[in-house]
Chain A
Amino acid sequence: MTVRRVQGSEVEYGIAVQGQPHANPMVTSTHVVNSYASAHHLTRRARWDFEEENPLRDARGFDLGRGDADPSQLTDEDLGLANIILTNGARLYVDHAHPEYSSPEVTSPRDVVIWEKAGEEVMRSAAELASQIPGHGTVVLYKNNIDNKGASYGSHENYLMDRAVPFDQIVTHLTPFFASRQVVCGAGRVGQQQDGSVHAFQVSQRADYFEVGVGLETTLKRPIINTRDEPHADARKYRRLHVIIGDANCSETSIYLKHGTASLVLALIEAGRTVTDLTLENPVAALHEISYDPTLRTTVRLADGRTVTALDLQGEYLQRARALVDDTGDADEQTLDVLERWEDVLTRLAHDPMDLATELDWVAKLALLERYRERDGLDWDHAKLHLVDLQYHDVRTERGLFHQLVRTGRMKRLVDPAEIQAAITEPPVDTRAWFRGKCLQYFSDDIAAASWDSVIFDLPGYASLQRVPTMEPLRGTREHVGALFDSRPTATELFRALTGSS
């Protein structure tokens, strides 16, 4: 029983060009990604050409570069190519008119915090670079999920699971957890309903955009449980649980607990510790009702007729996780820390949610909003409150209100900023992301493409591209292949050592 498992996060950022509300977001997003690629030499001499490399046609995604093209030369017809891999093992690309950062695979919630936060640094830098393109306006990115006019964009989590766990068990036991966890990891929103037409605060950015219980969609009729089955690993052994219900968090505490508590609940499910008596009568309605009440007193009805609050539900999961940890008696330090913080946060939320104003996003945001309302006598429909909501997520340190709170000591941090700085370029050491990242770091000229489950070399003297599969997420670690890099081999020497060829 542990919070440790292979996991990661994906965040689509909101994007705007100052003074140019009609700027094409796909073009601007492409500028953001390619500016970063160019500045960090993450481009390749040759373009990836799917047509000429038949043996590799099934390789997914991950074109490495735009050659030496200046970002300002990009046109619409080139837009499909903004898709790079960073030396930290992450993916930076354009998805649905938003720049997206997908973290490298890590093995703990704390490492998710570090590499997701490193992604914010990447995005901030990328936007600055794009803004320097001659004739280009200032690009501003927002780590949020909505425009409050009907559009929503995602922040997803991924968790590697045992394939043997039946999916219906996952649906049953995760749904009440997901409907209620927003009290810990909601990002807060001014406005209710998808178009924000009801003028009130709510706990979650994303709650209103979830309309069904289970499904494959991610861009419309979004489901609480997403059924995408694309493991990016050995499908006989693993499932990648793709979680689309979650807000983009700025708070390190929220990110940490979001991943830590989900990992624990998945461990409960894998261990067969079922929690069927928490099944909600109407999960989607419960999700919305919980989000609409920042006092957290709202009750929702279970299938067995009982009524409970979100804090009751979270408390039930906490108790069961703690019981399993106690029974197995082998908990690591981070697992105990997650349990302790989870309990502490739930206890203080029950006392007064405002007690978490220096730790959780939605509470920090609400505290600011309430102070404005009080000082300036503002109603919830006032533009200034909407602006505070939006600008909380501005990734620029000098403008973003979250960053303002951090800088002035009003928002607690969990990790050392130096760890985040290092993670901008360094991959995690304990997953296959280490191999991917180091290959990009040392051999970017010799790599044609890479993906979560492969690195494809273009080696001198080889007529075709050479694919190194990485189907096991816990192989390709520093411990596993680090020695091969110690002698600073050429790409060809590395490839031969890996494959035992000569």
Chain B
Amino acid sequence: MSEQQHKSNRPSRDADEQVEATEVDTEAKAKLDDDVDSILDEIDDVLEENAEEFVRSFVQKGGQ
């Protein structure tokens, strides 16, 4: 994963906050960020084809 992607995934986190985070947190988040590509790849594999048609045809009757 590129450094650019890594940073932009957590735009709200500034330098001070990163210093405050515990080491475990940082590791966990780094791992999460490393997962980004694989998450989207996995989801791409299961997402319904033709998103536009699929979303348009999902029409429900109202309920409670």
Pair A219/B62 contact, Cβ less than 8 Å: yes
Q: Is B23 in contact with chain A by the CB < 8 A criterion?
A: no
Closest residue of chain B to A357 (Cβ to Cβ) is: B32
Q: Kindly identify which residue among B40, B48, B59, B63 contacts A98, using a CB–CB cutoff of 8 Å.
A: B63
Q: How far is the CB of A373 from chain B (nearest CB, A)?
A: 10
Closest residue of chain B to A409 (Cβ to Cβ) is: B35
Q: When A375-B40, A383-B55 are in contact, do A25 and B61 touch as well, CB less than 8 Å?
A: yes
Q: Kindly identify which residue among B13, B17, B51, B63 contacts A219, using a CB–CB cutoff of 8 Å.
A: B63
* Contact pattern, B 8-47, Cβ under 8 Å of A = 1, otherwise 0: 1110110001000000000000001001100110110011
Q: How far is the CB of A399 from chain B (nearest CB, A)?
A: 5
In the complex, what distance in Å separates the CA atom of A410 from the CA atom of B38?
Answer: 12
Pair B46/A390 contact, Cβ less than 8 Å: no
Stretch at the interface among A49-57, A146-154, A229-237, A305-313: A146-154
Residues of A within 8 A of B10 (CB): 352, 354
Stretch at the interface among A13-21, A171-179, A458-466: A13-21
Residues of B within 8 A of A387 (CB): 47-48, 51, 54-55
Q: How far is the CB of A24 from chain B (nearest CB, A)?
A: 10
Q: When A372-B40, A374-B9 are in contact, do A386 and B63 touch as well, CB less than 8 Å?
A: no
Residues of B within 8 A of A97 (CB): 60-61, 63
Pair A401/B60 contact, Cβ less than 8 Å: no
Pair B62/A152 contact, Cβ less than 8 Å: yes
Q: How far is the CB of B37 from chain A (nearest CB, A)?
A: 8
Pair B51/A386 contact, Cβ less than 8 Å: yes
Residues of B within 8 A of A154 (CB): 63-64
Residues of B within 8 A of A148 (CB): 55, 58
Q: How far is the CB of A86 from chain B (nearest CB, A)?
A: 20
Pair A371/B47 contact, Cβ less than 8 Å: no
Pair A147/B64 contact, Cβ less than 8 Å: no
Q: When A374-B5, A401-B43, A410-B39 are in contact, do A219 and B64 touch as well, CB less than 8 Å?
A: yes
Pair B9/A96 contact, Cβ less than 8 Å: no
Residues of A within 8 A of B62 (CB): 96, 150-153, 219-220
Interface residues of A in 333-388 (CB under 8 A from B): 351-352, 354, 357-358, 368, 370-372, 374-375, 383-384, 386-388
Q: Interface SS of chain A: helix, strand, loop or mixed?
A: mixed
Q: When A374-B5, A374-B9, A387-B54 are in contact, do A95 and B42 touch as well, CB less than 8 Å?
A: no
Closest residue of chain A to B37 (Cβ to Cβ) is: A375
Q: How far is the CB of A238 from chain B (nearest CB, A)?
A: 22
Q: Is B52 in contact with chain A by the CB < 8 A criterion?
A: yes
How many residues of chain B get a CB closer than 8 Å to chain A's CBs? 30
Pair B39/A383 contact, Cβ less than 8 Å: no
Q: When A391-B47, A410-B35 are in contact, do A12 and B64 touch as well, CB less than 8 Å?
A: yes
In the complex, what distance in Å separates the CA atom of A220 from the CA atom of B48?
Answer: 32
Q: When A401-B43, A404-B46 are in contact, do A149 and B54 touch as well, CB less than 8 Å?
A: no
In the complex, what distance in Å separates the CA atom of A282 from the CA atom of B32?
Answer: 39
Q: Kindly identify which residue among B8, B46, B60 contacts A15, using a CB–CB cutoff of 8 Å.
A: B60
Pair B39/A147 contact, Cβ less than 8 Å: no
Residues of B within 8 A of A149 (CB): 59-60
Q: Kindly identify which residue among A14, A153, A374 contacts B8, using a CB–CB cutoff of 8 Å.
A: A374
Give me the 9 closest cross-chain CB pairs, A-B, nearest first: A153-B63, A21-B57, A154-B64, A97-B61, A383-B52, A147-B60, A96-B63, A383-B51, A387-B51
Known: A375-B5, A386-B51, A386-B55. 14 other contacts (CB 8 A): A14-B60, A95-B64, A96-B62, A98-B61, A151-B63, A154-B64, A156-B64, A351-B17, A352-B13, A358-B32, A371-B36, A387-B55, A391-B48, A398-B46
Can you spell out 16 A-B residue pairs with CB atoms less than 8 angstroms apart? A15-B60, A16-B58, A21-B57, A151-B59, A151-B61, A151-B62, A152-B62, A152-B63, A153-B63, A153-B64, A352-B17, A354-B12, A368-B39, A383-B55, A390-B55, A399-B46
Binding site for A on B (CB under 8 A): 5, 8-10, 12-13, 17, 32, 35-36, 39-40, 42-43, 46-48, 51-52, 54-64
